[in-house]
Structure formats: C-alpha cells, structure tokens
Amino acid sequence: MPRLNPGISHVTSFASSWKQFYERAILELDSNQVPRRIADARHAIFDRAEEILTKPSGGENHELHHALRSLRLLEEVAVRERTAA
C-alpha cells in the first residue's frame, strides 16, 4: 500500500495512488514482475472503489473500470507468454 504524504489530504492520496500502481503494472517490462504489479494495482483500485461507494466520484468510476479491464487483458497476455515459454 502506498505511504501517504502528510502534506496531501487523505482523499487526494488514495484518489491518485491507484493510478500510480496501475501505470507501474502497465509499463512493467520485467515479465517476472508483472503478476505482482497487477496484484498491487488491483488492490489499490479495489481500495479506491470501496472508498467511493458512498459518494459520487465523477468520471473516476469509469477510469477504475477501464483500468481493471486493462489489467485483466495484461494478465491474460502474461499468462499466455509464460505458458508458451
């Protein structure tokens, strides 16, 4: 889980931290690290989704959905590459 910067509000930190984990997963070049990066990103996305269930978040719901779908596709590719090797 990300370490929160005390100078940033709690809501802002969680709102943007899932994107950092997502970007790390999508941009990871080491195929051995991809599964862990995907798991970390999913965890951060689900934490944020749980947080916003009680209040509207504008377009962030769509962003979260898109990110989870992209991670699912990335995971499928990683599994195929591992089984082909």
pLDDT tens digit string along 1-60? 444 334 434 444 556 799 999 999 999 999 999 999 999 999 999 988 888 876 766 778
Region label for 58, one of left (φ > 0), alpha (ψ between -120 and 50) or beta (otherwise): left
13 closest CA partner among 5, 1, 24: 5
Is residue 28 assigned to a domain? yes
Is residue 1 assigned to a domain? no
Is residue 25 assigned to a domain? yes
pTM for this predicted structure: 0.63
Q: What is the pLDDT of residues 59-82, one digit of tens each?
A: 788 888 889 999 999 999 999 988
Which structural domain, as residue segments, surrounds residue 62?
10-84
Is residue 3 assigned to a domain? no
Query: What confidence score (pLDDT) does residue 63 get?
Result: 86
**Burial readout 32-52 (b: 16 or more C-beta within 10 A, e: otherwise):** eebbebbebbbebbeebbeeb
Is residue 2 assigned to a domain? no
